[in-house]
Structure 1
Amino acid sequence: MGVIRIHNLRFHTFNGVLPEERRNGQQLAIDVFLDYPIETRVHDDELSTTISYADVRDVIDRFVHEHSYKLIESLANELLKALLNQFPAERVTLKIRKYSVPMPGIFDDVEIEVSGGQNG
């Protein structure tokens, strides 16, 4: 099974539990992995036989700017559904990293990961 990967898409969004997170926003980074049978579906050099990276990026960009959630887990679950509905991937995995998380300690980011397929 082939995999199409896009790493470290960055967006300024307004997700979060605290009012200042929802007011000021923060940066999220998203990795998306689309399991797609490249070996059996791509037999020519036509974009129509694969999944367009640009289209995937556009769907994610539109989604994160049109929706706001308290939890990035909710964002991830809903974005996962949207990608599975839009593209013929057999499975999609999303990793979402949130920076500037308002909690004590020294760390780079908080990351959650969700996966789902066409059949559950």
Structure 2
Amino acid sequence: MQQLQPGMARIRIKNLRLRTYIGIKEEEINNRQDVVINATILYPADSAVEINRIEHALNYRTITKAIISHVESNRFALLERLTQEVLDIVMDNEQVRYAEVEVDKPHALRFSESVSITLSAAR
């Protein structure tokens, strides 16, 4: 996790529950499964704090809507690929300085609550 510097804001999107096609087995290819997405986003918020107007803040709603649309309308063989594509969506916003995305696939393994992949990027 990236250190929070003065003037930086940390946004956390927690437990975004979506359904998508994820996996390589026939039943996974033919049936949507649950995934749970968590994202941490750092961006410079000095202007948003000072001016107190949405135009000066990172619009996490727009980012979340883009994630939902992408995940629910595509198919993924690997959790790694899904995680990278979500990270790419977050990093598409020039204000983002650092992002970390974790995607859980509940019940992917017998006797396990979930399996997750975490990827991060910085600029």
- Provide runs of 4+ in structure 1 moved above 3 Å: none
Percent of paired sites with the same residue = 24
Counterpart CA distance in 2 for 1:13 and 1:78 is 13
Q: What's the Cα RMSD here?
A: 1.4
| CA offset digits 1:68-119 (Å, max 9, x no partner) | 1110101111221222113521011101000121x43x1110111000023x
Q: Structure 1 regions of 5+ residues with no counterpart?
A: none
| CA offset digits 1:48-71 (Å, max 9, x no partner) | 111122112101101102221110
**What residue is the counterpart of 1:22 in the other structure?**
29
Matches of residues 46-61 of structure 1 in structure 2 within 5 Å?
Answer: 46-61=53-68
| C-alpha contact 2:44 2:95 (8 A) present in aligned 1 | no
Matches of residues 83-94 of structure 1 in structure 2 within 5 Å?
Answer: 83-94=90-101
| C-alpha contact 1:95 1:114 (8 A) present in aligned 2 | yes
TM-score by length of structure 2 reads 0.86
Matches of residues 1-120 of structure 1 in structure 2 within 5 Å?
Answer: 1-38=8-45, 40-42=46-48, 43-101=50-108, 103-104=109-110, 106-118=111-123
